[in-house]
């Protein structure tokens, strides 16, 4: 199956129907792909997953089946989709962020591979990084220094920064942990931290309304809720003329200013390697959790110009990607 076809199916299908599948005399190994956000916000990451699977010998419709579901950023859908995958008796579930916890609650038997999770050890998702010990393993985003690094980079763009708003999903423990890390980093720089705690999409507009005149920049903690509502968040931020910083460059497509964090497509490629091991008989309990090794800095010059910001040439020279 070609990459273009896969991307089309990711964008429009609740599942991947293949006529040939019904004709199979033997059930193909099945991967349940649980996207916590929307196809438009995660398709690039998901599309990095399939080519690596193909390289490893797994071809959709021939020797493996893939069931794709998108939760659209709605937390209640995480558990519903996870339960559906259990009913379908998939052989492995692939997800990232908050939906991983819903999948773990739904099953202690089906292997679960997370492409990205903020703190799998601290949250109790795994017993240890070296030996996860249960049915869950994958790629950790744990790197406490990242929050401080994002703040340092933001200060290079906004050297007069004194008041920083931090938007985070209060119902996601890892997001609240990052909010605390950013808050700690602001103290050492004499910056006032203004928490914007949200639980649902309807909380975003009131949060920005209450923020008027109180902040000079916005730090958005990345997870399913904020990524699904990325365009809305950036629209409000631009209206209030707030520079924004994110954990990945995809958030800049809708008008974010800058991002610094792990290279997400590379993590999804690595997740395919975890799935390959599991489909060939390895147990998640014995597959060590890995941490990111590649980090990217991206800057959106179009947004910078709209905000009247001159990005230092030295920072542009260090960027892995400049959108202009």
Q: pTM for this structure?
A: 0.79
Q: How far apart are CA 165 and CA 129, in angstroms?
A: 32
DSSP-assigned beta bridge partners for residue 198: 169
Tokens of 152: 């340092």
Of 82, 105, 245, 100, residue with least CA distance to 161: 245
Q: How far apart are CA 242 and CA 94, in angstroms?
A: 35
Helix (H, G, I), strand (E, B) or coil at 85: helix
Tens digits of residue pLDDT in 270-304: 999 999 999 999 999 999 999 888 899 999 999 99
For residues 89 and 229, membership in a common domain is answered with no
HEC string of 223-236 equals CHHHHHCHHHHHHH
For residues 186 and 301, membership in a common domain is answered with yes
For residues 310 and 171, membership in a common domain is answered with yes
For residues 187 and 130, membership in a common domain is answered with no
Query: What residue numbers bound the domain in which 126 lies?
Result: 3-142+263-294
Percent of the chain with pLDDT over 70: 91
Give the count of beta carbons closer than 10 Å to the beta carbon of residue 116. Answer: 25
Q: What is the mean pLDDT of the chain?
A: 89
Asked if 271 and 47 touch (Cβ cutoff 8 Å), the reply is no
For residues 165 and 274, membership in a common domain is answered with no
Average pLDDT over residues 244-259: 91
Give 253's pLDDT tier (boundaries 50, 70, 90).
confident
For residues 181 and 109, membership in a common domain is answered with no
Residue 25's pLDDT is 57
Residue 24 CB partners (closer than 8 Å, separation 6+): none
For residues 154 and 232, membership in a common domain is answered with yes
Beta strand 295-300 with 258-262 is antiparallel
The more confidently predicted of residues 74 and 52 is 52
User: Which region holds residue 195: left if phi is over 0, alpha if psi is between -120 and 50, else beta?
Assistant: beta
Q: How far apart are CA 8 and CA 271, in angstroms?
A: 21
Of 217, 238, 242, 243, residue with least CA distance to 163: 217
Q: How far is CA 74 from the centre of its chain?
A: 15
Q: How far apart are CA 221 and CA 243, in angstroms?
A: 14
- Owner of token pair 């910056």: 191
For residues 76 and 197, membership in a common domain is answered with no
For residues 80 and 163, membership in a common domain is answered with no
For residues 61 and 197, membership in a common domain is answered with no
Tens digits of residue pLDDT in 227-247: 889 999 999 999 999 999 999
For residues 41 and 65, membership in a common domain is answered with yes
Residue 249's pLDDT is 87
Residue 16's pLDDT is 42
For residues 89 and 233, membership in a common domain is answered with no
Asked if 99 and 34 touch (Cβ cutoff 8 Å), the reply is yes
Q: How far apart are CA 283 and CA 95, in angstroms?
A: 17
Q: How far apart are CA 197 and CA 160, in angstroms?
A: 25
Residue 127 CB partners (closer than 8 Å, separation 6+): 133, 134
Helix (H, G, I), strand (E, B) or coil at 158: coil
Tokens of 30: 């099945």
Task: Work out how many domains the chain is built from and give that number.
Answer: 2
Of 230, 232, 191, 198, residue with least CA distance to 214: 191
Beta strand 136-140 with 192-198 is unpaired
DSSP state for residue 60 in the 8-state scheme = B
CATH number for the domain that contains residue 199: 3.40.50.2300
DSSP-assigned beta bridge partners for residue 50: none
Query: What share of residues in the chain are helix, strand, coil (percent, to 5)?
Result: 45, 20, 35
Average pLDDT over residues 198-217: 95
């Amino acid at each position: 199956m070609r990459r273009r076809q896969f991307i089309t199916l990711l964008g429009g299908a609740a599942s991947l129907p293949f006529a040939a599948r019904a004709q199979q005399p033997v059930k193909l190994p099945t991967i349940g792909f649980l996207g916590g956000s929307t196809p438009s916000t995660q398709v690039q990451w998901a599309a990095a997953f399939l080519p690596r699977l193909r390289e490893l010998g797994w071809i959709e419709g021939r020797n493996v089946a893939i069931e794709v579901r998108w939760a659209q950023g709605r937390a209640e859908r995480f558990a519903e989709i996870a339960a559906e995958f259990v009913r379908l008796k998939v052989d492995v579930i692939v997800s990232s962020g908050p939906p991983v916890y819903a999948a773990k609650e739904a099953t202690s038997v089906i292997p679960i591979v997370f492409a990205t999770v903020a703190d799998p050890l601290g949250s109790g998702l795994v017993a240890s990084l070296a030996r996860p010990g249960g049915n869950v393993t994958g790629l950790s985003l744990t790197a406490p220094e990242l929050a401080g690094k994002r703040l340092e980079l933001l200060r290079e763009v906004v050297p007069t920064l004194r008041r920083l708003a931090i938007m985070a999903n209060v119902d996601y423990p890892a997001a609240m942990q990052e909010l605390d890390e950013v808050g700690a980093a602001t103290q050492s720089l004499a910056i006032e931290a203004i928490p914007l705690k949200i639980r649902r999409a309807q909380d975003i507009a009131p949060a920005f309304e209450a923020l008027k005149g109180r902040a000079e920049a916005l730090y958005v903690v990345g997870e399913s809720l904020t990524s699904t509502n990325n365009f809305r968040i950036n629209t409000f931020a631009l209206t209030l003329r707030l520079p924004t910083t994110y954990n990945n460059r995809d958030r800049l497509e809708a008008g974010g200013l800058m991002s610094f964090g792990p290279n997400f497509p590379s993590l999804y490629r690595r997740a395919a390697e975890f799935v390959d091991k599991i489909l060939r008989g390895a147990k998640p309990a014995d597959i060590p959790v890995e941490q990111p090794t590649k980090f990217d800095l991206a800057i959106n010059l179009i947004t910078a110009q709209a905000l009247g910001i001159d990005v230092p040439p030295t920072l542009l020279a260090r960027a892995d990607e400049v959108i202009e």
